[in-house]
Amino acid sequence: MNPEITIPRREKLAELLADGDHVIIFANPSRNLEKFSQDNNFLYFTGLNHPELIYLAWKFSDRFHDMLFIERCDPERVVWEGAKLEAAEATEISGIKRVKYLDEFYGTLSAMTPMIKRIYANLGYAPLNKPMTVPMFMLEPIRQRFPQIQINQLNELITPLRKIKDDWEIQQLQKAIDITGKGLQDVMESATANMMEYELEATLFYRMQRSGVKNWGFAPIVASGINAATLHYEQNNCRVETGDLILMDVGASYNNYSADVTRCFPAGPTFSERQKQVYSAVLEVQKRVIELIKPGVALSTLNISARDWLAEQMVSLGLITDTKDVALYYMHSVSHFLGMDTHDLGGREAVLEPGNVITVEPGIYIPEEKLGVRIEDDVLVTEEGHSVLSQKIPKEINEIEEIRKAAFKNEP
Ligand SMILES: [Mn+2]
């Protein structure tokens, strides 16, 4: 990332602030022997993918100011952790001109407290039985000493920014989706019964890493047979049985933008008749929901339509007789925003605008038939309507069966 990408974001942030508003964003800490993953809001506004930094912005007398706090270089830690980000480098990457050291953070903030009315920070959420998050902990002294200062969740302020994707963000999402799609194709070309679910996961991850992706966007779901009826099955440790349908709900993270795609395919070369029936029912609903997508449509409209249409399909499939029973076989919502977070900022009450990216993922889950089907695509809302970013990833029954032949080509 470079300053041309993050400077306009900070300019938009400035427009959201009133006099006396402060924004404090803490980078994620580095944890010993763990892969570092940056706080998405920090990365969004600074472009810096380094741990232990703080971004501070504020508006006073109608002028916007901001600065970064970085670690001081401690030679002993450099031996273990490598060179620290230096001030000039931080400015070059982020375009933020003022840089101080972390040990100056409280002093700087304390000197400002007379003019601080509200603080927006990436506090996150800590359940009652869990310790405070790092941002909560860092702001606790401010909260105790200056109870008149309101401390709010940053997401309340910046959701309108993050839910509209700029061209660069759409490119990152497209890349994440394309790589995920290639990996899914690899799996469909090679998976057979008797493999373990995690072997399928490995095939996909191998493709991802060879394509420049280091991380999943979220824990991958590779669910065969009845496991596909568990919505967030993540164990991926069962053996694929002959006759199973395999569900993969997966997404690579590219430059911290996450794909989220679900495809289903048979363990054998072809779908069974019943699998075809259920799959076709879900696919038809999925396509109809996608057709609804355009600016001005409420997310709730997509949800209600999906539920009603799935209910009709369930009656035809002989699963239910009363459409009110739809929740027996479909129990989640059909769409969520997608971006840096797999479940991105945007909210359930949103009305679609150009630049939104959402998923469309209806499903039917039938544990008594050891069968679960979900089909999920990622869709960009455009001025005219929509564009399916994952359209290249096969989802028609004949396409999938054609690809599956490759996995069985050496069989007599
Ligand atoms: Mn999803």
**Alpha-carbon span 159 to 346, nearest angstrom:** 6
Residue 381 CA, ligand 1 centroid: distance in Å: 16
C-alpha 59 – ligand 1 centre gap (Å): 37
Distance (Å) from CA 341 to ligand 1 centroid: 11
Q: Indicate if the pLDDT at residue 272 is higher than 70.
A: yes
Q: Measured in angstroms, how far is the CA atom of residue 234 from the centroid of ligand 1?
A: 14
Q: Residue 48 corresponds to which amino acid?
A: L
3 state DSSP class of 249: strand
Centroid of ligand 1 to alpha carbon of 153 (angstroms): 24
Ligand 1 mean position, distance from CA 260 (Å): 5
CA angle, 125 as apex, 124 and 130 as ends, to 5°?
125
Task: Give dist(CA 320, CA 301) in Å, integer.
Answer: 23
CA of 150 to the centre of ligand 1 (A): 34
**pLDDT score recorded for residue 368:** 95
Structure-token pair, residue 115: 């003019």
336 C-alpha to center of ligand 1: Å? 7
Neighbours of 289 (CB within 10 A): 23
Q: What's the CA-to-centroid distance between 369 and ligand 1, angstroms?
A: 24
Distance 83 CA to ligand 1 centre (A): 38
Distance 353 CA to ligand 1 centre (A): 19
Cα–Cα distance between 208 and 221 in angstroms, integer? 15
So what's the pLDDT on residue 412? 59
What is the distance in A from the centroid of ligand 1 to the CA of 318? 27
Terminal-residue alpha carbon distance, the chain: 52
C-alpha dist (Å) from residue 136 to 132, 153, 225: 6, 10, 43
Distance 65 CA to ligand 1 centre (A): 37
Q: How far apart, in whole angstroms, are the C-alpha atoms of residue 27 and residue 283? A: 41
Determine the distance separating the centroid of ligand 1 and the alpha carbon of 361, expressed in angstroms: 7
Other C-beta atoms lying within 10 Å of the C-beta of residue 218:
18
**Rg (the chain; Cα; Å):** 24
Mean pLDDT of 97-116: 95
CA of 261 from ligand 1 middle (Å) equals: 7
Q: What is the whole-number distance in angstroms between the Cα of residue 68 and the centre of ligand 1?
A: 34
Q: What is the pLDDT of residue 318?
A: 97
What's the chain's average pLDDT?
95
CA 30 to ligand 1 center in whole angstroms:
28
> What is the pLDDT, as a whole number, of residue 232?
81
Predicted pLDDT of residue 14: 97
How far apart are the C-alpha atoms of 133 and 123, rounded to whole Å?
Answer: 7
pLDDT tens-digit profile of 45-64? Answer: 999 999 999 999 999 999 99
C-alpha 273, offset from chain centre: 34
User: What is the per-residue pLDDT across 363-373, written as a single tens digit (0 to 9) for each?
Assistant: 999 999 999 99
Two structure tokens written together for 288: 């109809």
Distance 286 CA to ligand 1 centre (A): 13
Q: Residue 149 Cα, ligand 1 centroid: separation in angstroms?
A: 37
Mean pLDDT of 32-37: 83
Q: Compute the average pLDDT of residues 293-305.
A: 97
Q: Which two tokens stand for residue 188?
A: 């469909």
Cα 145 to middle of ligand 1, angstroms: 42
Give me ligand 1 centre to Cα 140, in Å.
35
Residue 34 confidence (pLDDT) above 90: no
| Interacting residues of 52 by C-beta distance below 8 A, sequence separation 6+ | 27, 29, 30, 70, 71, 102
What pLDDT shows up at residue 225? 94
Domains annotated for the chain, with CATH where assigned, are 3-161 (3.40.350.10), 167-408 (3.90.230.10)
Q: In angstroms, what is the span from residue 109 Cα to ligand 1's centroid?
A: 40
- 27 vs 29: CA distance, rounded Å: 6
Q: Give the distance (Å) from ligand 1 centre to CA of residue 172.
A: 17
pLDDT, tens digit, for every residue of 238-258?
999 999 999 999 999 999 999
Cα of 209 to ligand 1 centre, how many Å?
A: 22
Share of the chain above pLDDT 70, in %: 100
Confidence band of 410 (pLDDT split at 50, 70, 90): confident
Residues facing residue 115 across a β-bridge:
none
Instruction: Give me ligand 1 centre to Cα 376, in Å.
Output: 7
Q: Distances in Å between the alpha carbon of 68 and those of 14, 47, 56, 366?
A: 16, 12, 6, 52
For residues 337-354, average pLDDT: 93
Q: In the numeric block, which tokens belong to residue 204?
A: 């996909």
User: Please, are residues 213 and 169 in contact by the beta-carbon 8 Å criterion?
Assistant: no
CA distances from 28 to 124, 157, 238, 286, 392 (A): 11, 20, 34, 37, 35
Distance 359 CA to ligand 1 centre (A): 6
Residue 73 pLDDT grade (very low, low, confident, very high; cuts 50, 70, 90):
confident
Cα separation, 211 vs 252, in Å, equals 10
- pLDDT one-digit tens code per residue, 190-214: 999 999 999 999 999 999 999 999 9
Cα–Cα nearest to 177, from 303, 338, 37: 338
Distance in angstroms (rounded) separating the CA atoms of residues 35 and 258: 17
Distance in Å, CA 247 to ligand 1 centroid: 13
